[in-house]
Amino acid sequence: MIPIELVLGFAALLFCTGLYGMMTTNKALVALMCVELMLNSANINFIAFAAYNVFADATIGNIFVLMSIAIAAAEVAVGLALILNVYKIKGTSSTDDLTTMRW
Amino acid sequence: MFMEYAWLIPILPIACFVIVGLFGKKLHEGGGFVAIAGAAIACIFSVLVAYDFITNGVDGIFGAPFVTEMKWLVFPGSDFVINFGVYIDGLTCIMLIFSSFISTMIFVYSIGYMGDQGEKKPRYYGEVSLFLTGMLGLIVSSNFLQMFIFWEIMGLCSYLLIGFWSFDHPEAKQKSSAAKKAFLVTRAGDVCLMAGLFIVLYLFGSLDYANIFNAVAIEAIAATNPELLTVAGLLIFGGVIGKSAQFPLHDWLPDAMAGPTTVSALIHAATMVKAGVYLTARAMPLYVFNSVNGEAVLLFIGIIGGFTAIYAASMALNNFNIKKVLAYSTLSQLGYMILALGAGGFLMAHGYNTGEEHLVALGVLGYMAGIFHMLNHAFFKGLLFLCSGAVIHATGTEDMKQMGGLFSKLKVTAVTMLLGSLSIAGFPLFSGFWSKDLVLEAALHAGTHGMTGFTVLFVMGMITAFMTAFYMFRMWFMTFVGDYRGTEHVHHESKIMSAPLVVLSIFAVISGFVIFIGFGNLIADMLQESMGFFWIEIESGMDIAISIFTNIWTYVSIVLALSGIGIAYLMYMKKSVDPAKFNKNGESAYYKLLTKRYYFPELYDQISWKLGYGIARIVDAFDRNVIDGTVNGLSGAVIGGGDVVSQMETGHVRDYATFVIAGVVVLILVFAFIFIGGI
């Protein structure tokens, strides 16, 4: 069996990738994709801990992941709709230009 | 049977106030006849109440006070109650009758005098009605708090009426400043009075006259807490100094001449300044039964009165304003009343403390003299003011240099004013003669039987009598004899203005004779039954008259009065003595001092400028710099801080992500430090 450290390390790498992309990109779509990456790294952690758990029933972790994926789907739907609309109105989806709501 | 309804007396004028205030514009003469009716009915009612009180007594006891009260403020959990009620005794009866009667006369006269005021009439009649309410309510009050409320109503009305012409008038500014002065100066006294009432409430646990005027209670407090009782007495007298315009708060009264002459008559004769004298007379037990300091306080009261008498009379000597001369003479006569009450009270207190009963009797005589003089003064001063109003109405000026030779044109006014002047000058058998001699006799007795200070006051009173005769006749001669010096056409006198003059002049001449019809007994019974005085014996009116005419000083004062009249005659009628010789054509230092009113107005101004304005400026600076500075500084810091911090909000999604991550990292480090580092 693969040691849990490897799985967790992979999840952490995935999270950091998403985070790095989030902090550096100016494209709204890329930012959304990075959010998905981070969310999925968290899902991997759930799965990992559920699979390696020897003391209790593993189903709870799996159910939680299913729930999380459903929410992520909904979130993406909303996020994409927003970006599309912004693009229609402003002609751009670059986050550097979308600053009208600040001070 | 009338006394039960005495509470109606102050209700009547206030009803007139409401009617005139609301519907005055639609009423005939701006509601003047409503005001007259209210005052007249109040007067008739006062006479009926007094008749009922004097003839029937209360429960068969003559002189005992008639008290009806209703609970006004009840404090749950304590037995302290503030009442609202009616208290009738001899003093109440006397005051009620003359206040309402003279007010009625003044209101009748106002129909003529204020006839040209047009739209302002409803305001005038409304305010004078309220003024009368204040006075009558004050007189019938059954406790100090109720009295204080009416006292303040009068203060308000005096302000409104003195400033009656403070707009739509060529001299509006000066008028309104006179009104403000009257209000603020009397306020200084009122604050004292209120403080005094607080102490009385603390000491007695009640403000009801019926509980306070009790010799046993006062003596018990004098034994345990003499200092506070003394302070209370002095503070109450402080209120009197303000209201009755005694030195050093006297200066508002001459300026109060800015109001219509009828208002001056009302303030000087029937209401306002008489309230102070009334309060002194009413609060007398607080002084007399204060066995520790009472005599000293009463000496102080006498000194204030005696000094005011001569001090104010001196300023009347060279004044050329007909109303101001009368104003100073009021101050001077009020000084007499206060002096009489001080001297009489002193004799009573001294008699109690030493056990000499005949001194108490003399004291009662002095006390009576004060009230007697107040009654007489009300009649002749009301008359004199209305006469001066008639003169002003006819000539259009208040300056006596512009008058002269008016006798042929204003016959009724001239004759009635002569009668009033003779009364105030103390011409034998006129009203002022009786009371003034009793006042001076009281001071003399107090001097010989106890305190020599009163002898000095007696001498000052004598000099004042001379000065009074001189300045009154100076005024009369300057106004009515010689050649007319003015330029304005002299109007004729109207009947509605002459009639009150004639009525008042009759009373001014004969009111002195009331001592022959039981005036003294009324006062003595009141002192005995209402206020708990003992050892009272009063001489009959005839005995008083005999004692007056067998007293050598009476003749001295008559001679002084006659010589005052004579000198005025020589100076201003025959012109054989030139007044310019005495005052070096108005250049002598004393003459200038008098025209400057002893620099008292300036002193008031300086106090209010230097002290009042200075404090106001300091407070203003504190307000602007410290309080505003704190508030502005705080808001500035918040706004500025907000501006600076808001710059952090770039609006870039990735920056926010960075902040969030940085925050999470910091949190993780902190938790790691706490939990892992702790282990």
Mean pLDDT by 10 residues, chain B (679 residues): 85 91 84 90 92 81 83 81 87 90 92 83 90 92 92 92 85 86 89 93 87 85 87 92 88 87 89 91 89 87 91 87 90 92 90 85 88 92 91 85 83 90 88 88 85 86 91 90 81 84 90 81 80 75 80 87 88 76 70 76 80 88 91 93 84 82 91 78
Cross-chain Cβ contact B649/A102 below 8 Å: yes
Following CA atoms B214, B220, B226, B229 in sequence, which dihedral angle do they give, to the nearest 10 degrees?
A: -30
**Closest CA in chain A for residue B646:** A103
Contact B252, B215 (CB under 8 A): no
Q: Which two tokens stand for residue A25?
A: 């990109």
Indicate yes or no: CB of B653 within 8 angstroms of CB of A28: yes
Chain A hits for B652, CB-CB cut-off 8 Å, are: 26, 95-96, 99
Chain A environment of B654 (Cβ under 8 Å): 22-26, 31, 95
Q: What is the structure's pLDDT at B679? A: 53
Please answer yes or no on whether A22 and B654 come within 8 Å at the CB atom.
yes
CB atoms within 10 A of CB B585: 11
Cβ pair B111, B494 in contact under 8 A:
no
Exposure string over B103-125, b if 16+ CB within 10 A, otherwise e? bbbbbbbbbbbbbebeebbbbbb
Measured between alpha carbons, how far is residue B674 from residues B660, B671, B679 in Å?
21, 5, 8
Residue of B nearest to A101 (CA): B651
Helix (H, G, I), strand (E, B) or coil at B399: strand
Select A4-90's CATH number: 1.10.287.3510, 2.40.50.140, 1.20.1730.10, 3.40.50.11540: 1.10.287.3510
In angstroms, rounded to a whole number, what is the distance separating the alpha carbons of residues B667 and B111?
91
Tokens of B532: 């708990």
**A23/B657 CB distance under 8 A:** yes
Distances (CA, A) of B377 to B330, B333, B430: 8, 7, 12
B646 touches chain A (CB under 8 A): yes
Helix B431-449 / helix B322-354 crossing angle, nearest 10 deg: 40
Give the whole-angstrom CA distance, residue A41 versus residue A27.
21
Give the span between the Cα atoms of B533 and B214, in whole angstroms.
Answer: 8
pLDDT of residue A103: 61
Token digits of residue B363: 């004291």
Shortest CB distance from B650 goes to which of A19, A28, A99? Answer: A99
Cis peptide leading into B170, omega within 30 of 0?
no
Q: pLDDT tens per residue, chain A (103 residues)?
A: 788 899 999 999 999 999 899 888 888 899 899 999 999 999 999 988 888 877 777 788 888 999 999 999 999 999 999 999 999 998 888 888 877 777 6
**Tokens, residue B392:** 């002003």
- Closest-CA distance of chain A to residue B657, Å: 6
Residue A79, min C-alpha distance to chain B (Å) = 14
- Alpha carbons B214 and B285: distance in angstroms, whole number: 8
In this prediction, does ipTM exceed 0.90?
no
* Length of chain B as a residue count: 679
Burial of B423 (0-12, 13-18, 19+ CB in 10 A): buried
Tell me if B120 sits within 8 A of B31, measured CB to CB.
Answer: no
**CB spacing of B649 vs A96 below 8 angstroms:** no
State how far the Cα of B525 lies from the Cα of B537, in Å rounded to an integer. 9
The pLDDT value given to residue B308: 92
Nearest chain A Cα distance for residue B658, angstroms:
6
- Would you state the structure tokens that stand for residue B440, as one six-digit string? 């001076």
| pLDDT at residue B338, rounded to an integer | 93
φ, ψ of residue B667 in degrees (nearest 5):
-60, -45
Could you give the 3-state DSSP secondary structure of residue B67? Answer: strand
Q: Quote the DSSP letter at residue A95.
A: T
Task: Say how far apart CA B92 and CA B457 lie, in whole Å.
Answer: 29
Token digits of residue B430 = 């006129």
Instruction: Report residue B68: phi and psi, to 5°.
Output: -125, 135
Integer angstrom CA distances of residue B427 from B376, B432, B509: 13, 7, 10
Across the interface, of A25, A100, A102, the residue whose CB is closest to B654 is A25
Amino acid at B54: I
Contacts with B614 (C-beta within 8 Å, 6 or more apart), sequence order: none
Instruction: Report the run of H or E that residue A12 belongs to, with start and end.
Output: helix A4-24
Alpha-carbon distance values, B227 to B151, B165, B222, B233, B290 (Å): 26, 46, 8, 10, 10
Q: B229-243 pLDDT, tens per residue?
A: 999 999 999 999 999
Contact criterion met (CB < 8 Å) for B647 and A102: no
| CA distance linking residue B626 with residue B619, whole number of Å | 10
Residue of B nearest to A103 (CA): B646
Six-digit token string for B638: 């918040």
All residues at 6 or more sequence positions from B423 whose CB lies less than 8 Å from its CB, including other chains: B376, B379, B380, B430, B431, B432, B433, B508, B509, B512
Structure tokens at B528: 């005995």
Dist. CA B394–CA B474, nearest whole Å: 20
Whether residue A99 and residue B651 make contact (CB cut-off 8 A), yes or no, is yes
Question: Vertex B254, ends B251 and B257: CA angle to 5°?
Answer: 140
Token representation of residue B556: 């001295």
Residue B242: burial class (beta carbons within 10 Å; 0-12, 13-18, 19+): buried
Q: Is B666 an interface residue toward A (CB < 8 Å)?
A: no
| B662 touches A: beta carbon within 8 Å | no
Paired tokens of B223: 């034994």
Size of interface A-B (CB pairs under 8 A): 32
Dist CA A43 CA B592 (whole Å): 107
Cis peptide upstream of residue B500 (ω within 30 degrees of 0): no
Q: Which helix (H) or strand (E) holds B73?
A: strand B66-74
Give the angle A93-A95-A97 at the CA atoms, nearest 5°. Answer: 85
How distant is the Cα of B643 from the closest Cα of chain A, in angstroms? 9
